[in-house]
Structure 1
Amino acid sequence: MAYKDFRDFLNTLHKEGQLLTVTDEVQPDPDLGSAGQAISNLGDQTPGLLFTNIYGYNNAKVALNVMGSWSNHALMMGLPKSTPVKEQFFEFARRYEKFPVKVKREETAPFHECEIKDDINLFDLLPLFRLNQGDGGYYLDKACVISRDQHDKENFGKQNVGIYRMQVKGKDRLGIQPVPQHDIAIHLKQAEEKGENLPVSIALGCEPAIVTAAATPLHYDQSEYEMAGAIQGEPYRIVKSQLSDLDVPWGAEVILEGEILAGEREYEGPFGEFTGHYSGGRSMPVIKINRVYHRKDPIFESLYIGMPWTETDYLIGINTSVPLYQQLKEAYPEEIEAVNAMYTHGLVAIVSTKSRYGGFAKAVGMRALTTPHGLGYCKLVILVDEDVDPFNLPQVMWALSTKMHPKHDVITVPNLSVLPLDPGSEPAGITDKMILDATTPVAPETRGHYSQPLDTPLETEKWEKILTNMMQK
């Protein structure tokens, strides 16, 4: 089911009726950002967008919302576009367990068609536009950024592929925000301690498997390329960078090669973030672009990011939930049923678990806070019983309203870490966190009256299938 490259995935979306091509002339600002928000407002099965006639940019194409629905997310995994979210979760978890899948190395790539060594001008090369009207400039927000551990350069697993916002600061300069919880911040710290620049490669317009892997909270020494292979079911193809020892995605539309300049900082921001708020301006590192490779007539991919839900939430929803699920199952293999951490990148996580004894679910909640992702996110963890579907919010609200006792089932932990982009953190990067236990009390807890739960009618599952088939005809 692996896609050859970004264009191959776009072709699949087109065949499946999940790509809307806009041929009328549009303005970069405000039309593209407005269209990105508009398509996000129209439900969770919406198509991707491809703009082919952008004022001021001859022959440029811009793709938006490529992963901006559960239908497109299912197609990313080679599943029928009607696959329910819960089924996508468990299928992703099954593939996650196949990690690692070794990569396939290539000598050349399609993006080697065109090379720019001198007089690099990103304003000419890329069709840039503001996503939100209060943004401090133009941003690359769906690019895979590749960097290496500077103390262990031969360790393939410690080469990181991540997605970080980058502001276009000049013809060959970008500002980047390396959030402390992310791997590139470690690599930059290592380089700057030695007084050296950090080599980076930036890949635009990539296959969905590597974009998904790059947005997954893996362990530090786990390779995103080997995870992309697990996601797509066959080895992921990479090619060596021309200017460094970095490996880059073979199927990218554009590759920017450069380095983060040691010790240099410039004002970056504001930027409309996935929290639904502007993150403000901060002093951030700078990338100098030294070489560019691109396909003929490259397709520029971006994503609209703003008030949830947008493409960001579909892109990072399941692949945030599954690592938490796997890490909790390592600790509690017989109890953990499912994890839904799809809300604002897991600032809220819902865990379905069996309770071995009284107070057990609260311990599961504490463990969720100490997972790699939980340390920087997971501000609120909700625990529900194993027969409550964490992806069914009415069921979760039922559990909260009937099982949770404010006196017994609320735990707050003060002064824990959270990503600085959380607008509620004070100071930025510090917050109290909360666990809400909405599971049924078991011994030695004896409070409440839960001895007579309703039974599901015997033929419910059969009729779900019958009615689903009827509705699809």
Structure 2
Amino acid sequence: MARDLRGFLKILEQRGQLRRIKALVDADLEIAEISNRMLQSGGPALLFETVKGSPYPVLVNTMGTVERVCWAMNMEKPEELEALGRKLGMLQQPKPPKKISQAIEFGKVLFDVVKAKPMRDFLPPCHQVVIKDEAVDLNQIPMIRPYPKDAGKIITLGLVITKDVETGTPNVGVYRLQLQSKNTMTVHWLSVRGGARHLRKAAERGQKLEIAIALGVDPLIIMAAATPIPVDLSEWLFAGLYGGSGVHLAKCKTVDLEVPADAEFVLEGTITPGEMLPDGPFGDHMGYYGGVEDSPLVRFHCVTHRKDPIYLTTFSGRPPKEEAMIAIALNRIYTPILRQQVSEIVDFFLPMEALSYKAAIISIDKAYPGQARRAAMAFWTALPQFTYTKFVIVVDKDINIRDPRQVVWALTSKVDPQRDVFILPDTPFDTLDFASPKLGLGSRMGIDATTKVYPETEHDWGEPLQSDSDVASMVDRRWAEYGLGDIEQGEVDPNLFGYDMRHR
């Protein structure tokens, strides 16, 4: 992969989507406040060139619009993401081709996998400067503190890289880390994540777990690491599939791990099983401060970086935030995969305003009674990231699921609460969801907002109102003749509901 973070910055600057800030700013609260205002207005990425107490600039809001997320993935439009989803779906559940055209298409996908194989870089830019042992001082990195009651400074967009001590299989994730001292941080990961599994295996063998944090990589690699799709491929191969060519990797200086060769910073260290410190509270994606939780302590003994490195960061919070824009893009990638897993699903949407995954709207081509309930149940188990979806609303295929007016109409005109709402109690749940009576254990709700058929209902359903097709066509033709050519004809723009935040 030839492009790195700096290459992506050139793209942003050429397209007028990067603003350089030369004024002195503070990484404590001030950068996040400025960035949050840009996110609310769909503004450009920001490069703060002069940061108090640090020699390094801070880059934030790189993927603050869906448009820029697409650019990060070498695409121009969200619709192109579905083609990528179809490719990943073929790899996840390959089927014997029935036609020559299908065989050719599958052959192209396999060729893409070959091209996506990672490559080794023996003189990587990330090793231009090497700092070891007592000279390591993480305070030099301009980590931000986004909210006033946050416990400290954090890393948010670092690739956290570990390896299974038995099989040698690497895992690349994006987890939050809290600064604890000049050479230690705590890492906050869920017990089901790859890094946590690797730590448990290391503990069973009485070994320390080696860990590397890569900061300031091409956003495309971050997208690959943040995509929890159950395909038996490494995140490096995933990134190669996303970008069309293999990721350049470099061997770390002091641990047996590989990192992106063009990373701006690399932090190398170890975790001693059982060594923990309190982590948090921090503002999270739910819009509240999270709790305090004992988390594994990482001891860093080596830092490498490029000459004149750039520190890339972001922060969580109530949408819109960068994580919400990423989720909208991933929604498009998931769609073909979800259709393959649950055949009756026509389309699905995760509204940003519903925290990007707490509520899902699904449209189905309804063919039999009870199908909406089946689709909701299948959705919850289709992909790991849907485990924490609290509400699933199922509508007919003729409903535009990205138009809130149509969805609300379906809810109010097609739902009888006693018949059409079902609740699954006491299911494993998101510990950050304070609405649950017990943290980590909550309920989820399905709503059947489809047109009912026998025996779901014992009476005929009303015929929906529709315009006369001939008259509608005539009005389309004569719209300008009426003197109304400068007025749109009442169609809802789906961009207003999550696909492009530049115009909000």
TM-score, normalised to structure 1's length? Answer: 0.88
Q: 2: distance between equivalents of 1:188 and 1:220?
A: 22
- What is the aligned counterpart of 2:340 among 330, 333, 347? 330
Equivalent residue number for residue 471 of structure 1:
none
Equivalent residue number for residue 55 of structure 1:
52
Q: 2: distance between equivalents of 1:314 and 1:180?
A: 26
- What is the aligned counterpart of 1:339 among 343, 348, 351? 348
Q: 2: distance between equivalents of 1:395 and 1:184?
A: 42
Is 2:392 aligned against 1:381?
Answer: yes
Q: 1: distance between equivalents of 2:145 and 2:430?
A: 24
Cα 1:461–1:47, aligned 2, differ >3 Å: closer, same or farther? Answer: farther
Equivalent residue number for residue 405 of structure 2:
394
- Kept in 2: contact 1:183–1:220 (CA 8 A): no
Amino acid at match of 2:160: V
Could you list the per-position Cα deviations for residues 381-418 of structure 1 after superposition, in whole angstroms to 9, with x for gaps in the alignment? 11122232333333322322222221221110001111
Q: CA RMSD in A?
A: 2.6
- Gaps of at least 5 residues in structure 2 are 92-112, 480-484, 494-504
Cα 1:37–1:448, aligned 2, differ >3 Å: closer, same or farther? Answer: farther
Q: 1: distance between equivalents of 2:473 and 2:256?
A: 61
Alpha-carbon offset, residue 459 of structure 1: 9.2
Larger Rg: 2
Alpha-carbon offset, residue 204 of structure 1: 0.4
Alpha-carbon offset, residue 345 of structure 1: 4.2
- Kept in 2: contact 1:440–1:450 (CA 8 A): no
- Gaps of at least 5 residues in structure 1 are 469-473
Amino acid at match of 2:9: L
Q: 2: distance between equivalents of 1:222 and 1:328?
A: 18
Cα 1:92–1:22, aligned 2, differ >3 Å: closer, same or farther? Answer: farther
Equivalent residue number for residue 118 of structure 1:
133
Cα 1:331–1:356, aligned 2, differ >3 Å: closer, same or farther? Answer: farther
TM-score, normalised to structure 2's length? Answer: 0.83
Q: 1: distance between equivalents of 2:316 and 2:134?
A: 31
Alpha-carbon offset, residue 117 of structure 1: 1.3
Alpha-carbon offset, residue 69 of structure 1: 0.8
Amino acid at match of 2:463: S
Alpha-carbon offset, residue 54 of structure 1: 1.5
Alpha-carbon offset, residue 448 of structure 1: 6.3
Cα 1:97–1:372, aligned 2, differ >3 Å: closer, same or farther? Answer: closer
Alpha-carbon offset, residue 28 of structure 1: 2.2
Cα 1:27–1:209, aligned 2, differ >3 Å: closer, same or farther? Answer: same
Equivalent residue number for residue 75 of structure 1:
71
Q: 1: distance between equivalents of 2:71 and 2:452?
A: 41
Q: 1: distance between equivalents of 2:314 and 2:149?
A: 16
Equivalent residue number for residue 38 of structure 2:
39
Moved more, 71-80 or 300-309: 71-80
Could you list the per-position Cα deviations for residues 155-190 of structure 1 after superposition, in whole angstroms to 9, with x for gaps in the alignment? 4xxx21111110011111010112123221211111
Cα 1:124–1:185, aligned 2, differ >3 Å: closer, same or farther? Answer: closer
Equivalent residue number for residue 25 of structure 1:
24
Moved more, 246-255 or 10-19: 246-255
Equivalent residue number for residue 105 of structure 1:
120
**Secondary structure, aligned partner of 2:319:** coil
Alpha-carbon offset, residue 251 of structure 1: 2.2
Q: 1: distance between equivalents of 2:231 and 2:198?
A: 11
Runs of 4+ in 1 over 6 A off after TM superposition: 459-464
Is 2:400 aligned against 1:353?
Answer: no
- Kept in 1: contact 2:176–2:187 (CA 8 A): yes
Equivalent residue number for residue 135 of structure 1:
150
Alpha-carbon offset, residue 442 of structure 1: 3.4
Q: 2: distance between equivalents of 1:279 and 1:15?
A: 39
Moved more, 443-452 or 17-26: 443-452
> Identity across aligned pairs (percent)?
32
Cα 1:104–1:62, aligned 2, differ >3 Å: closer, same or farther? Answer: same
Q: 1: distance between equivalents of 2:39 and 2:2?
A: 25
Amino acid at match of 2:327: I
Q: 1: distance between equivalents of 2:401 and 2:237?
A: 29
Alpha-carbon offset, residue 327 of structure 1: 4.9
Cα 1:293–1:458, aligned 2, differ >3 Å: closer, same or farther? Answer: farther
